[in-house]
Structure 1
Amino acid sequence: MAELTPRGSSRVVMHDPRTTDPEEELVRRSHLSEEELAQVVAVLEAMGRWREAERAMNEESQRYMKLGESDMRALRFLIAAHRQGVVVTPGAIAAHLGISTASTTKLLDRLADGGHIRRLPHPSDRRSLAIEVTEETRRSARASVGRSHARRFDVVAGLTAEERETLRGFFDALAATADAGDPTPADDQTRAH
């Protein structure tokens, strides 16, 4: 079922199981009223809009700072650690990003060549290095990523305590779906009852 957009062209519906899973092979919905189903679809569509907005914000920040996604994730980690007084080693960056030590070395070389980080002697472990973000990069990140984060913080702060708790539970439950894996046929039968 395609929907017409204001310009008259059709739009593919992405989150409505009535069109994407009409036989209820994956999404059980027969227990929901039409109103409840419409609300669920509206939430999923809002999540899609948020993912798209966040992707666009991330891409804009990456373009502004002329960096890739892993580079930006490493810089955010380094900035947060600096603010907390935590010394960051290449191994800590590798663990945070889930990449190999060889990939981490290449990433740090790129960031150092771009003037984004400094490699310094570790203050307490002479066998290791401490990695720090340069002040110029910290200011640039604050001007791009920091401002976006502040706007998101303000939206959440504007909610009631109950709304925040509901959202926290919602996002925790969504995060748990990533760990759940694919259900087995037995799981499907258990959830159907």
Structure 2
Amino acid sequence: MHDPRVGDPVSELVDRTGMSDTDVEQVVRVMNALRDWHEAAERMSESSRRYMRLNETDMRALRYLIAAHNQKRQVTPGAITDYLGISSASTTKLLDRLEKGGHVRRGPHPTDRRALTVSVTEATRKDARESVGRQHARRFAVAAELSAADRDVVIAFLDSLSATEVVEAEGVTD
């Protein structure tokens, strides 16, 4: 429940000074809409992972490999390690799992005989395009329908909302 009139009736946490009931109600609707979007995004992400039979880290690795493919960049296991922020041992396990599942191929690096490259298989690239790619295209279309000014407002709002995490973390003391 996002309504501070219910969860914080005496304004100990949420300052509602100068806000009318209509203002508070509209803010509550914004918060509820954000919750609904978050839940929908989680369902879409879970659906894609189920469809492709992968976990979240596997999906992040595949998105990275697909982007690299689209940009005609070579990807090494070390680059995947850096991108995902996991250990090289975890990357090896991830690549073993993805290779066994037919999602990636490992091969020799074209210019460095000591290195390997990792690439996404065509079948997996197509599956990702049909699941995650189509969802992204629908979200892009919704954002594209906004005016430039409205997009700026949404960007500023979401940036400010994201920054609340940083403010919270900075205020934590031991």
- TM-score normalised by length of structure 1: 0.83
Q: Which moved more, 1:53-62 or 1:125-134?
A: 125-134
Q: Single out whichever of 55-64 and 95-104 deviates more from structure 2.
A: 95-104
Distance (whole Å) between structure 1 residues aligned to residue 166 and residue 115 of structure 2: 34
**AA in 1 matched with 2:59:** M
Equivalent residue number for residue 75 of structure 2 = 88
Q: CA RMSD in A?
A: 1.6
Identity of aligned residues (%): 57
Pairs within 5 Å for 1:141-152: 141-152=128-139
1:39 aligns with 2:26: yes
Query: What letter corresponds to residue 21 of structure 2 in structure 1?
Result: E
Give deviations 1:95-140, integer Å, cap 9, x for gaps: 2222111111111111000000011112233332211000000000
- 1:182 Cα shift? 4.2
Within 5 Å, give how 1:108-123 maps onto structure 2: 108-123=95-110
Task: From 114, 125, 137, give the equivalent of 1:127.
Answer: 114
Q: When you count helix as a share of all residues, which structure comes out higher?
A: 2
Q: Following the alignment from structure 1 to structure 2, what is the Cα–Cα distance between the partners of residues 122 and 181?
A: 44
Aligned partner of 1:24 in structure 2 is 11
Matched, 1:159 2:154: no
Match of 2:57 among 64, 70, 88: 70
In 2, the alpha carbon distance for the partners of 1:126 and 1:20 equals 62
Q: CA deviation at 1:178?
A: 2.1
Is the aligned partner of 1:101 residue 2:73?
Answer: no
> Post-superposition, which runs of at least 4 consecutive aligned residues in structure 1 deviate over 6 A?
none
Secondary structure at the counterpart of residue 181 of structure 1: helix
Equivalenced residues, count? 172
Relative contact order, higher structure (CA 8 A, sep 6+): 2
